[in-house]
């Protein structure tokens, strides 16, 4: 699959999960926990695919502007992973604070996704050939599989 199509598909999955989580109430404690875990797993894999494969290829194909975009995007990943997600995880799902923090997560990620799709991906299509994008997509599929089997191995 083309790298950009693959990443966009992931974005749809995450946005869908975030909307579902936002629609839950304080009573839906188990559903909130399950959705949050799923979002965390999806994000973990998606950011690895971008940071290990897509962003480096984008930077290599481009120049300073592309590096700046990639570095900014990486910082946003870090903010979500290191600050926002850990915060939500220690907030009881039965509280209104949980919903407030989910809203912040959702807004941050929607903004991040929009920037990737509006600025980075069209630029990547200009800089990388169709064949290169296919190859990157294949590498990402391979990495995704190995990350998933790692996660299973850890859980077992």
Which residue ranges make up the site for Fe ion (CB under 5 A)?
A: 50, 116
**Residue number, 66 or 116, with CB nearest to Fe ion:** 116
Residues 6 or more apart whose Cβ sits within 8 Å of residue 104? 84
Gap between the Cα atoms of 128 and 117, Å rounded:
15
Q: What minimum distance in Å lies between the beta carbon of 121 and Fe ion?
A: 9
Q: What minimum distance in Å lies between the beta carbon of 8 and Fe ion?
A: 8
**Residue number, 3 or 93, with CB nearest to Fe ion:** 3
**Residue number, 27 or 118, with CB nearest to Fe ion:** 118
Output the CA–CA distances (angstroms, integers) from residue 31 to 20, 42, 89, 102, in the order listed.
10, 16, 14, 14
**Residue number, 51 or 138, with CB nearest to Fe ion:** 51
**Residue number, 32 or 50, with CB nearest to Fe ion:** 50
Assess contact for 26 and 99: CB atoms under 8 A.
Answer: yes
Q: What minimum distance in Å lies between the beta carbon of 104 and Fe ion?
A: 17
Q: What minimum distance in Å lies between the beta carbon of 97 and Fe ion?
A: 26
Q: What minimum distance in Å lies between the beta carbon of 77 and Fe ion?
A: 6
Gap between the Cα atoms of 61 and 104, Å rounded:
33
Query: Nearest Cα to 140, choosing from 54, 67, 11?
Result: 54
Gap between the Cα atoms of 147 and 48, Å rounded:
9
Gap between the Cα atoms of 58 and 50, Å rounded:
10
């Amino acid at each position: 699959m083309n790298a950009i199509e693959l990443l966009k598909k992931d974005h749809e999955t995450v946005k869908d999960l975030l909307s579902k989580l936002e629609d839950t109430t304080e009573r839906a404690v188990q559903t909130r926990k399950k959705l949050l875990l799923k979002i965390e797993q999806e994000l973990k894999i998606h950011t690895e695919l971008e940071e290990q494969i897509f962003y480096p290829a984008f930077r290599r194909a481009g120049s300073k502007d592309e590096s700046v975009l990639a570095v900014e995007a990486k910082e946003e990943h870090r903010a979500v992973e290191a600050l926002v997600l850990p915060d939500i995880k220690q907030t009881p799902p039965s509280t209104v604070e949980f919903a407030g923090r989910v809203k912040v997560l959702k807004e941050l990620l929607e903004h991040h996704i929009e920037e990737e799709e509006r600025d980075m991906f069209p630029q990547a299509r200009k800089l990388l050939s169709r064949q290169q994008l296919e190859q990157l997509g294949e590498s990402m599929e391979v990495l995704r599989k190995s990350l998933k089997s790692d996660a299973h191995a850890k859980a077992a």
